[in-house]
Amino acid sequence: MKRLKTGMLLAVAVAIVAPAMLGAQTAADAQAASAAAEVRATIDRLFDGMRAADVAMFRSTLHPSARLMTTSMRDGVPVLAEEAIDAFAEAVSRSQPGTLDERLHDVEIHVDGNLASAWTPYRFYLGERFSHCGVNSFQLFRSGEGWQIIQIVDTRRREGCGV
């Protein structure tokens, strides 16, 4: 009889606690999905600004101390180079709308509090002409103003692009 009461109490406790835990998990999942969507929107806005030659839109996604790095191979040796964000923004401002077209696919986003990372293969076109492909790795920070890109590291190549 005592075992039956203990079993019944346990069943009641599980019946009460499980939905609350499930609800909390569902709320956390929804919050994470919302944050990931905000991160994706920030990245999309960067490239929308680039495509539109809208330097204000482009810059609106970047933290003031944002860095742009690229890694490649030069004469069989791995190279890491920093590019000035201001020079990149200047190139965007000098371009014609539709000229700089970076097409993302298979975007993976991870968020933990105020930090997010995104990994996304891309293909880059100058107008309709294919230029190169690679992978972008973004680091973003959620400031009081929303998500801002703090670093972009990319790879660039012309082979193995599936074009």
161 has a pLDDT exceeding 90:
yes
> Average pLDDT of the chain?
89
- What are the boundaries of each domain within the chain? 2-155
Prediction pTM value: 0.80
Q: What is the pLDDT of residue 4?
A: 53
Quick one: fold of 2-155?
Nuclear Transport Factor 2; Chain: A, (3.10.450)
The per-residue pLDDT for 111 is 97
- Mean pLDDT is lowest, of 9-13, 84-88, 131-135, for 9-13
The string of DSSP codes covering 62-79 is EEEEEEEEEEEEETTEEE
> Across residues 16-25, what is the average pLDDT?
56
pLDDT band at 70 (very low <50, low <70, confident <90, very high): very high
Strand partners, 94: none
Whether the per-residue pLDDT at 42 is higher than 60: the answer is yes
Cβ atoms of 155 and 121 closer than 8 Å: no
Residue 116 has pLDDT above 70, yes or no: yes
